[in-house]
Amino acid sequence: MKILKVEFENINSLAGKWCIDFTDPSYSELDHSLFVISGKTGMGKTSILDAITLALYGATPRQGVIYNGNDGNAVMTSDKGTCFARVTYRCRKGTYVSEWNQRRARDKADGNLQNAQGKIWRIENPQDPIFAGNTGRNSELARANAEIIQLDYSQFCRSIMLAQGEFSKFLTSEEKERADILEKLNGTEKYRRIGKKVGDHRREAKAAKETSQAAFDALNNTMPKAEDIEKDKALLAEVANKEKALTDKKKNLEARIAWRNSMNESTRSLESAETELAKANKDKSEFAGNEKRLADAEKARECATLHTELQGFRKHEADDKAKLENFQKQLPQVASDLKSAGDNKAIAEKEKTATEQFIAENEALWNEIRKLDQDLKNATSVKAEAENRKATAAQSLSEAEAELKKAQDTIKSLEPQVESLAQTQEANAKDAELAGIIPQSETLVASIRGFDKKIADEEKAKKAFADDLKKAEEDLNDANALKQELLEQQNELFRNDVLALANVIQNHLEEGKACPVCGSTEHPACGHSNGTVADESSVTSTAEKIRELNTKLQDADAKLGQYENAKSRALTAGNAASENIESLNSQKNEASEKVAELWKPWAEFDLANADSTLADLKLRLQQFTANKTKFDKLSNDLAIARNNVELYGKKVQHEQDHLEKETANLNDVSRKLDELRSSRSEKFGDKDVEAVAKEATASKTAAANKYDAADKAFRNIENRHNELNTQITALKGSLEKTAGDIKTASEKFVNAIAAKGFADEAAFQAALLQEAEFTKLQNEKKRIDGAIATATGKKQAATEALEKLKAERSDETPLQALTDGKAAVEKELGELQGSSGAARARVKAYTENVAQLQILQKDLDAKKAELSRWEAMGEWFGVMDGSDFATFVQGLTFKSLLKLANKHLAIVKDRFRLVAEGNLGFKVADSEFGNDRRISNLSGGEKFLVSLSLALGIADFASRNVRVESLFMDEGFGTLDDATLEDVMNCLRCQQREGKMLGIITHVESVVNSISQKIMLERSTSQKGHSTITGPGVTRVA
């Protein structure tokens, strides 16, 4: 995995957008793949590494997961509203871009922090992201990148990003913390889970066996004696014979009762049907008269259509005769009106022609006069405008002459004032810089005064931490001596019983998956045995010894861990206090020098007199600012006045020319107006042409309207005359046709009623009934006929049913006697069944329980076998939480890690070698001393070399399945002497020669000077509290 590019914006003190491109050609050179990131404390060196881990995992080593800032873990620059981090990286699966970003509400610095967002895409396909969305407490972005890179956040921080504070963690941590680190590095947690799983199965198998045993015992204890069950079976056989006889008797009685009930029901049905039939016959007799009327009405209704048709023809004939008489009376008057209308139309037409001819003869003259009138109107308007323009030109000339004199007077007044102020400002020009210097100086003076108290507090804390360190070292030496004896016993156990331990691990190796000890994915021992397998008793004994030693070591580790933590805390706190004192003194001196430089043109810096000096400078700035404001205003007024003199001089000349031109134009317009007035008077006098034309048009319109009305009246009367003649002719023809229709319809109607038995039309009309009465009689007839039919059917059905029942059986026994007999049999049968119910229930329960007991016995046998198997496995794996087995595997893994660390230690200090001590402890074998040394006996520089070797060994171990091509190390190197530093650099150059691009973060000058490829961070001169970055591949994005 290789980091190709880092881009970020507004991360901590690194404000703005930055890009560091590691594909820059300078990094591909051999000597330049080792580079340094350098700058003073607080410049933001570590923030560059924060940007890398943020972009990939949404977290930083210093603050953990960053998602909404509610816990105070925001990384955004304090005065900004947005931030992001983006990394382009290459791994086995390809080249990817991963981005993390966060914003405040409204993108404003005072807005609430919003949830962080993440996004991952292939570099060749940015439009199709692999992951996009929120990345919060659940580390969604981290999980997505871990799947691609095959390194989770913990592994990344130990194989690629050796973060500040984590560098020496493995060296100074207690065994439990080392065990946690090893679990994350190599996944030995699965062996703990294996051991725990064995314990869980053992516990579950025991509980299952006890449950099964309890169920079997509970049922077995309730089983009755066999001889009691045999007695119950004999009793049930005797009862069954009696029960059958009674049941047969009951069925016979039930059949006889059913037959008797059917006979009674059929008799009642017959009597009811006869009653209904008699009533229906009576209703029919009473309806006889109405039935005759209904029959005559039905025959009359069949001739009703012919009668309706005849009546229609008769009505049509009467209507036509009335219309014909009316039209014949109107015809003479309409003929007279038609002649009068023709005369009126001729007179109106003559008047219309006369008015049209008058207008045609005078239209040309009227149009000519209209044009002359429009020309006169236009000329009058033009003359008025010319007069107005002449007056305006005269007024403008007067105003321009007044403004010119005003500007000349202003220049005479302002020139001496401006010259005096200019001389004063030139003499005090340096005072302009005080506007920026005063607020900067106030901030610096306040910070200088605060440094002394902070330095005193840090000195006091440093002394207290030194006392704590001395006490912790004394306690630690005593605790180490106590633990050593137990660790030697454990080493002896590993040497003597390695065969049994190897057999346990071999049983859990899987082909293709890494061994927790050596990391290899090939396991020849899985395929065949070497013939030396430990027996079960040996393994069980070994497991027991491991548990016993671990129990004893836990108490010793508890105290040792407390003392190690106390020492680590005291040492870390003491170093931090020293660094803080040095930093505070440096910042104080830097601030004092800055103030002295700022005040140099006006005064010397003395902290005691700083307030009075600042007051003098503020007064000086106030006076300079007031003079500048006044000078700027007067200078601007003078420039305006000079400009006005030039402008108004030109304007006076322009207005004089304009006045002369307007005067000549007015004279010309007045002459043309007089000529137009003379021509109009000669041709039309003073008459209004529009009034004359309007009067002629009105006469024409009136004549036209009169003609239109006369023409319309003539046409209307003419149409009426023609219409009357047409209607009279049509009615005469219609009456002739209707007479023939009446004759035909009358003959058909008379024949039809005669066929139905009616003597004449009067008899036919007498037989007709109203619709309501006809419907009522019809419904009544249907009801009576239906009642007779229904009653007849019921009577016949009841008679047939009685005959059938009599044929089936002859039984004169009363129904009550049969019912009483059935009740007596049911009572006897119930008593018999009740006496045998308890025996029957006992036999049924016994049969079911025997079958269930067999099932429970089979289940109990299986549970006992399962418990026996897991009890044997439990003896192998130790305590049920899996810690015994995990500790054993971690011990073997730890020895493999020491081998990797020794490879790097041999480069920086070949006299040293790390030697395992117990499960997860170690000592340093020193060839010059001739015996082993404890970590507490190493110097600061020697501890650094061991920490570096272990850190590089852990990086190798964590990346055994991932090719690591980038390595970043955030460590100050401030405790190393020149010789040790040279050894460290040699070791790091070995990493470079192995193909890694190695970046070192430090402020140590000797380290910075020894590396030619540099990325430098400096304090920004334009933005207070921010930093800038320079170096190969570094660009600031606009």
Report d(CA 185, CA 187) in Å as an integer: 6
Locate tokens 């002719």: which residue?
729
Tell me the three state secondary structure of residue 877: helix
- Contact partners, residue 988, CB within 8 Å, separation at least 6: 34, 969, 998, 1000
- Contact partners, residue 165, CB within 8 Å, separation at least 6: 61, 62
Q: How many CA atoms lie within 13 A of 68 on its CB side?
A: 9
Q: Which two tokens stand for residue 14?
A: 């690194």
Per-residue pLDDT tens over the stretch 132-186: 988 877 788 999 998 998 888 887 887 788 776 566 677 777 776 777 677 666 6
Which DSSP state fits 350? Answer: H
From residue 889, alpha-carbon distances to 62, 158, 561, 886 in Å are 31, 21, 21, 5
Contact 170, 110 (CB under 8 A): no
* pLDDT value of residue 194: 77
**For residue 121, which phi and psi values (nearest 5 degrees)?**
-150, 155
Contacts within 8 Å (CB) and 24+ apart, 1019-1026: 1019/40, 1019/43, 1020/15, 1023/15, 1025/13, 1025/78, 1026/13, 1026/14, 1026/15, 1026/16, 1026/77
Report d(CA 200, CA 212) in Å as an integer: 18
Tell me the three state secondary structure of residue 181: helix
From residue 876, alpha-carbon distances to 196, 504, 542, 940 in Å are 12, 8, 8, 44
Report d(CA 682, CA 678) in Å as an integer: 7
Which helix (H) or strand (E) element contains residue 587? helix 536-599
Which DSSP state fits 429? Answer: G
* pLDDT value of residue 129: 93
Closest CA to 929 of 941, 913, 948, 918: 913
Residue by residue, DSSP assigns 361-376 as HHHHHHHHHHHHHHHH
User: Buried b / exposed e across 962-988, counting CB within 10 Å, b at 16+?
Assistant: bebbbbbbbbbbeebeeebbebbbebb
Report d(CA 954, CA 949) in Å as an integer: 9
Tell me the three state secondary structure of residue 871: helix
* pLDDT value of residue 565: 65
Strand partners, 122: 96
Q: Which two tokens stand for residue 978?
A: 């020149």
Which helix (H) or strand (E) element contains residue 503? helix 498-506
Report d(CA 945, CA 904) in Å as an integer: 9
Residue by residue, DSSP assigns 517-549 as TT--S--HHHH---S----HHHHHHHHHHHHHH
3-state helix, strand, coil in the chain (%, to 5): 75, 10, 15
Report d(CA 812, CA 54) in Å as an integer: 108
Locate tokens 């990086």: which residue?
955
Which DSSP state fits 995? Answer: T
Contact 721, 334 (CB under 8 A): yes
| Dihedral sign computed on CA atoms, order 1008, 1012, 1013, 1016 | positive
- Contact partners, residue 209, CB within 8 Å, separation at least 6: 860, 863, 864, 866, 867
| pTM of the shown model | 0.41
- Residue count of the chain: 1038
Report d(CA 527, CA 340) in Å as an integer: 139
Three-state SS across 209-254? HHHHHHHHHHHHCCCCCHHHHHHHHHHHHHHHHHHHHHHHHHHHHH
Tell me the three state secondary structure of residue 1018: strand
Which DSSP state fits 184? Answer: H
Locate tokens 């070591």: which residue?
553
466: amino acid identity, one letter: A
Three-state SS across 105-125? HHHCCCCCECCCEEEEEECCC
Low-confidence spans in the chain with pLDDT less than 50: 516-517, 519, 528-533
Report d(CA 248, CA 829) in Å as an integer: 11
Residue 162: CB atoms within 10 A of its CB come to 24
* pLDDT value of residue 20: 95
Q: Give the domains, in start order, of the chain with CATH numbers.
A: 2-160+963-1037 (3.40.50.300), 173-222+866-958 (no CATH), 433-506+542-609 (no CATH), 507-533 (no CATH)
- Contact partners, residue 711, CB within 8 Å, separation at least 6: 345, 348
Q: Pairing state of beta strands 82-91 and 2-11?
A: antiparallel
Contact 914, 905 (CB under 8 A): yes
729: amino acid identity, one letter: T
